[in-house]
Amino acid sequence: MNYSGYTVNDLVTDESFRRWVLQPQDEDVRFWEDWTAAHPEMRDVIEEARQLVEILVFPEVAVPLDADFADIKNRIQTGATIRPIQRPLWYRFRNIAAVLTGLALTGLLWFYFSGGKDTMAAYATTYEETRVIELPDGSIVNLNANSSLRLSQDWRQVREIWLEGEAYFDVVKDPSRKFIVHTGKMDVEVLGTTFNVNARKELTQILLDSGKVQLKTRESEKDTLLDMVPGEFVEYKQLQNELVKEKIKNRETVTAWTENRFVFDDSPLSEIAGMLEDEYGMEVIIEDESLAARELNWKSNNRDIDHLLTVISDVFDAEVTKEEDQKRIIISQK
């Protein structure tokens, strides 16, 4: 198994890694100690993932699992109150035994770091899973598949979030406290607004729907600041330290996932393949470069993968092969 490209999210859900942390066996200990020694650049990622696995718990979700994001957003705008279910302290600890026996990682992951009077919450989703989360200040986050976020320990003073993956934010305005989303080497600072952030593979993309945000990169000694207004789309390539801002042609191509839909508007096949890898855990191989560059215009009211693959086959006159494990897709010219 090649773990060199794994993120904290990937390691937390990896069976071998979790077994090494929770129920170490000689074979696992030898492998992970040798692998860590051979990959010193991954030490921080491994340590963070190890700490998360050790304290992972599985309480019941504070918002309805089937909650409709648009409905919750409407309730906020009309002044309705959405309150999380309050559980006594002992209730949380009843889940620790389940974690220590190595229960499979499914659904919403909710774990806590001890911090005196303050508590830091973290949330994660697996492949093919999205979740709606209400934050302590009433802000709503729609967390996309294979994503995680954690809150600052002193949330009452500073509203800070660290995001890995993709999320759509509807932030409650609070003039006394900024709302900051940290992604890799970029920060998104807001007061009250709605926006989408996708931070994967050294690439961060931000779409602003309403309000105003300020972006700050931390790649060089001097921070780079950029203001955004509604309708703008920003892409930051971390390795090249390149920041590009443009008007979005069709916002639905970015936000359709929040409504469990597919919307592609001149979307290259290579980009669609990346989405399948990031959100569904599939390995997609496109055997022809010219085919990878071809663009798809199509929308669907659901996210049926088999339907999408059929459309790709028909539109591009391509051969689409889905291997037995259902996680490897090969696309080639007929």
Instruction: Determine the topology of domain 261-333 in CATH.
Output: Phage tail protein beta-alpha-beta fold (3.55.50)
Question: Taken in order 314, 334, 253, 82, is the CA torsion positive or negative?
Answer: positive
pLDDT of residue 96: 36
Residues 6 or more apart in contact with residue 79 via CB below 8 angstroms:
none
> Could you tell me where in the chain the CATH 3.55.50.30 domains are found?
261-333
The encoded tokens of residue 126 equal 């697996």
Q: 3-class DSSP state for residue 333?
A: strand
Block residue for tokens 């809150």: 151
Cα–Cα distances (Å) from 167 to 124, 170, 215, 238, in that order, read 11, 10, 16, 19
Domain with CATH 2.60.120.1440 in the chain: 67-89+104-253
The lowest-confidence range among 64-78, 135-149, 250-264 is 64-78
Position 109 pLDDT exceeds 80: no
Average pLDDT in the 107-113 region? 38
Longest dimension (CA), the chain: 63
Cβ neighbours of 129 (radius 10 Å): 16
Q: Say if strands 224-228 and 194-200 run parallel, antiparallel, or are unpaired.
A: unpaired
Cα-trace Rg, the chain: 21
CATH 2.60.120.1440 applies to domain 67-89+104-253: yes
Instruction: Flag whether pLDDT at 102 surpasses 50.
Output: no
Pairing mode of beta strands 242-247, 213-217: unpaired
Cβ neighbours, 10 Å, residue 122: 18
Indicate whether 158 pLDDT > 90: no
Inter-helix orientation angle 15-22/43-55, to 10°: 70
Q: Average pLDDT of the chain?
A: 78
pTM beyond 0.85, yes or no? no
Helix axes 26-38, 43-55, angle to 10 degrees: 140
Average pLDDT of 322-327?
A: 77
- Write the pLDDT tens digit of every residue in 222-239: 667 788 989 999 999 888
End-to-end CA distance of the chain: 32
DSSP state, 302? S
pLDDT at position 156 over 50: yes
Whether the pLDDT of residue 83 is over 50: the answer is no
Judged on CB neighbours under 10 Å (0-12, 13-18, 19+), 157 is exposed
Q: What percent of the chain has pLDDT over 90?
A: 39
pLDDT of res. 116: 35
Classify residue 26 by burial, with Cβ atoms within 10 Å: 0-12, 13-18, 19+. exposed
Could you identify the residue written with the tokens 């774990």? 111
Q: Give pLDDT, residue 48.
A: 80
